[in-house]
Copies of this chain bind each other. A is one copy, B any other.
Amino acid sequence: MWLHTSCELAFEIALPTPFVLMLRPRSGAQQWIAREEYRLTPSVPVIEFTDGYGNLCQRLIAPAGAFSVCTAAEVETADHIDQAPGAPFVDVQRLPDAVLSYLLPSRYCESDRFGLMAAEIAGDTPPGYDQVQAIVDWLQSHIDYRPGSSDLPLSAVEVNLRQSGVCRDLSHLGIALCRSLSIPARMVVGYLHNLVPMDLHAWFEAYVGGRWYTFDATQTVMRGGYVAIGYGRDAADVAVYSQFGPAVYPSSQLIQVQRIEAHATDPS
């Protein structure tokens, strides 16, 4: 399906503040970015770089005063999410090098503290995709998904104590549980068509059966319409904006995802 996505962030900046933004989705096997806009007002010098996870990041200094970041994209994304019950666990020894780091504990996914719990949830489920699905099922029945209930990222340990959370929180706990079973898992931040309420979204991917598969414990039925903006170990890696110095929050944030017709054939 074709989607038009947009994210508009407005800030009131007291003092010139360094930002790292991650708001440029990349074309990949799962999505094609046919058109993209990225506007900064006022216009400031930007350095774009690729981080260690392959994300395109933009570094800049936001000047004092009103500062807005408006991005939009026209994306072709999958109508259906690949699912693969039975896809086998991949032995650590056979994982691609670049996947190995997604086995390690990270800031918000303390996989080193979930060994027993993960083993219990997995029970005698066959190793691999089905274990991840068992984790998702467990999240859906044990953790209350409450959009908008928290601002700051919580770690898997905290989410497990609180028994409720936003999409990011459920992902953190899901990722920590997967890694406890030696299944590589990573966080994705992006858009989801028809998300209610509309907002930026977070989900996770697990590496089983020789590739990454998408999982989302906030959705009872997996459907298409995902647009990935960034990948990383957890929310620490995939903040759509990181700012350094005194905290600055957006004075407004507007996210939109609309279905559109397949694009016309010629750019203008």
Residues of A within 8 A of B (CB): 6, 8, 18, 20, 26-29, 32-39, 41, 43, 45-52, 54, 56, 58-61, 68, 70-72, 76, 91-93, 97, 100-101, 103-107, 109-110, 112, 152-153, 182, 236-237, 242, 244-245, 262-263, 265-268
Contacts and interface: CB of A to CB of B under 8 A. Distances in A.
Contact of A34 (B6, B8, B20, B39): B39
B48 A92 contact: no
A263 B39 CA distance: 8
Q: How many copies does the complex hold?
A: 4
A267 B107 contact: no
Given A38-B33, A45-B29, A93-B18, A106 B103 contact: no
Given A27-B58, A37-B267, 14 more contacts: A6-B267, A26-B48, A27-B48, A28-B48, A33-B38, A34-B38, A39-B267, A50-B54, A72-B267, A104-B236, A104-B237, A107-B109, A112-B153, A112-B236
6 contacts: A8-B266, A18-B92, A39-B267, A59-B93, A104-B242, A182-B245
B18 A46 contact: no
A103 B75 CA distance: 31
A34 B70 CA distance: 10
A182 B245 CA distance: 7
A-B pairs with the 4 shortest C-beta distances?
A18-B92, A37-B267, A27-B48, A72-B267
Given A59-B93, A93-B61, A104 B103 contact: no
Give the interface centre of A29, A41, A93 by most chain B CB atoms within 10 Å: A93
B107 A105 contact: yes
B20 A100 contact: yes
Contacts of A39: 34, 263, 265-267
B106 A236 contact: yes
